[in-house]
Amino acid sequence: MTVIRRETEADAPLVHALHDAAFAAAEHSSGHEADLVDALRTSGDWEPAYSLVAEADDRPVGHVVATYGRLAGERILGLGPIGVDPALHGKGIGSALMHAAIAAAEARDEPAIVLLGSPVYYGRFGFVAASEHGVEAPDPNWGPYFQIRPLTAWRSGLRGVYTYSPAFDEFG
């Protein structure tokens, strides 16, 4: 059975190893996703409530994090990285982590979550091209891969270029 829970301090080295394994063969990986998570933990954009671990057999088998970036002068969540033990792909762990991350953000009255990823995969969770809501990617070449999931607290005045936490500039 897989349980989704908040990350604890003891999880950090295991989460690092998990992301290294999860992204080792990923097509669009920077190769630094684990380092990015470590850097985000020490940033002012980190909120522990948005660092979630999927646990099975008393060990982390998946992890997702959302940290604050900026849009129209407000803090807006940017999701990622999300990683799952490669031996467990296709078991629903990534989907469970996504649902938990969205629910956590909704419960805390966040207006939206943005991410960079596959429209086919993330569309299942209500993500759409960010441009549909007047939100521009930090890199215009990202096109439809830069997506947003407006939540209940979304306001149409939140428009402009999204800026990720500065850790993404170094490791993203």
Other CB atoms within 10 A of residue 60 CB: 20
- How far apart CA 128 and CA 118 sit, in angstroms, is 10
Residue-wise DSSP of 84-137: E-GGGTTSSHHHHHHHHHHHHHHHTT--EEEEES-HHHHHTTT-EEGGGGTEE-
CATH number at residue 44: 3.40.630.30
Residues contacting residue 169 through CB under 8 Å, at least 6 positions apart: none
pLDDT by residue for the chain (172 residues), tens only, comes to 899 999 999 999 999 999 999 999 887 788 899 999 999 999 999 999 999 999 999 999 999 999 999 999 999 999 999 999 999 999 999 999 999 999 999 999 999 999 999 999 999 999 999 999 999 999 999 999 999 999 999 999 999 999 999 999 888 6
- Our count of domains for the chain comes to 1
pTM: predicted TM-score of the whole model, two decimal places: 0.96
Tell me the residue range of the domain where 62 lies.
3-171
User: In angstroms, how far apart are the furthest CA atoms of the chain?
Assistant: 45
